[in-house]
Amino acid sequence: ESQLIGAPIQQVPARTQAANPLTYIDENDPPLICIHGSRDRLVPFNQSTLLYNALENAKVPTALITILDGEHGNFRNPKIKRIEKAFVEHCTSGTRPIPKNTTLPNIPKSITK
């Protein structure tokens, strides 16, 4: 974060706030489903939690799917596709409820072959 804004974030609160994408969330944002591995080393998991909460507070359709012990992407749990489909159907037709936030197990590549 400090690299992004060119100074320690504690020293430049206005610049930090301006660089924070959560600052710009409002009810006009599109629906978003967050799918995040709990062991992601590139993007801290709490960033998805913060994003989800901000979207929820702005009344934007959103869901948070946690992949237990998942890292950064390449998730193979087949339930993810069903949840994505339900989310899209909710957003496009309203015929299904927004999927509940859930935690799914990570399925190793060796099991899905």
Query: Does residue 45 have a pLDDT over 80?
Result: yes
Residue 22's pLDDT is what? Answer: 95
Among residues 19, 24, 35, the alpha carbon closest in space to that of 77 is found at 35
Q: Give me the residue label for tokens 């012990």.
A: 69
The predicted model gives 18-26 an average pLDDT of: 94
Residue 111's pLDDT is what? Answer: 57
Sign of CA dihedral 77, 82, 86, 87: positive
The predicted model gives 63-83 an average pLDDT of: 91
Query: Does residue 16 have a pLDDT over 70?
Result: yes
Kindly indicate the confidence band of residue 110, based on its pLDDT and cuts at 50, 70 and 90. low
CA distances from 93 to 56, 61, 96, 97, 102 (A): 20, 13, 8, 10, 22
The predicted model gives 17-40 an average pLDDT of: 95
The predicted model gives 78-82 an average pLDDT of: 91
111 or 1, greater pLDDT = 1
